[in-house]
Amino acid sequence: MWRDHLTEIIIFTLLFLLVSGMGFVAARWRAPKDMAHLDEWGLGGRNFGGWITWFLVGGDLYTAYTFVAVPALVFGAGAMGFFAVPYTIVIYPLVFLVLVRLWSVSHRHGFVTPADFVRSRFDSPVLALVIAITGIVATMPYIALQLVGIEAVLKAMGVTGESTIARHLPIIVAFAILAAYTYQSGLRAPALIAFVKDSLIYIVILVAIFYLPYKLGGWGDIFAAADAKFDASPAPGDGVLLNANNQLQYVTLAFGSALALFLYPHSLTGVLASRNRDVIKRNMSALPAYSLLLGLIALLGYMAIAADVKPLPGASEGTVDNNTIVPLLFDQQFPSWFTGIAYAAIGIGALVPAAIMSIAAANLFTRNIYKEYLRRDATAAQEANVSKITSLVVKIGAVACIVFLDPQFSIDLQLIGGVIILQTLPAVALGIYTRWFHRAGLVAGWVAGMGLGMWMLYQISSPTRKHFAGSAFPLEKFGFDTQKTIYVGIVAVLVNLLVAALVTLALRAAKVAEGVDGTAQDDYFADEGDPRVTPGPRADADAAPEPVA
- Does some domain include residue 521? no
CATH number at residue 282: 1.20.1730.10
Closest CA to 390 of 64, 99, 113, 102: 113
| Residue type at position 434 | T
Report whether pLDDT(491) > 80: yes
pLDDT of residue 403: 66
Its sign, for the CA torsion 29, 30, 31, 36, is: negative
- Does some domain include residue 466? no
- Does some domain include residue 59? yes
Report yes or no: 363 and 265 within 8 Å, Cβ to Cβ: yes
Least confident window among 275-284, 297-306, 458-467: 458-467
CB neighbours of residue 39 within 10 Å: 23
φ/ψ region of 403 (left if φ > 0, alpha if ψ in -120 to 50, else beta) reads alpha
Report whether pLDDT(547) > 50: no
pLDDT tier for residue 548 given thresholds of 50, 70 and 90: very low
Report whether pLDDT(442) > 70: yes
What is residue 381's three-state secondary structure?
helix
pLDDT tier for residue 546 given thresholds of 50, 70 and 90: very low
pLDDT of residue 430: 95
- Of 401 and 253, the structure prediction assigns the larger pLDDT to 253
**β partners of residue 239:** 78
Query: Stretch 79-100: mean pLDDT, rounded?
Result: 84
Share of the chain above pLDDT 90, in %: 40
Report yes or no: 178 and 33 within 8 Å, Cβ to Cβ: no
- Does some domain include residue 92? yes
- Does some domain include residue 251? yes
Report whether pLDDT(400) > 80: no
DSSP secondary structure letter of residue 374: I
pLDDT of residue 447: 97
- Does some domain include residue 527? no
**β partners of residue 48:** 274
Query: Stretch 152-171: mean pLDDT, rounded?
Result: 73
**What is this structure's pTM?**
0.88
Concatenate the DSSP letters of all residues of 202-258 into one string: HHHHHHHHHHHHHHTT-HHHHHHHHHHHHHT---TT-BSS--TTTHHHHHHHHHHHH
**β partners of residue 313:** 320
- Does some domain include residue 20? yes
Instruction: Give the domain extent around 340.
Output: 2-416
Report yes or no: 8 and 157 within 8 Å, Cβ to Cβ: yes
- Does some domain include residue 515? no
pLDDT of residue 352: 82
Report whether pLDDT(27) > 70: yes
- Domains contained in the chain, number: 1
Max avg pLDDT among 302-316, 364-378, 439-453: 439-453
pLDDT tier for residue 286 given thresholds of 50, 70 and 90: confident
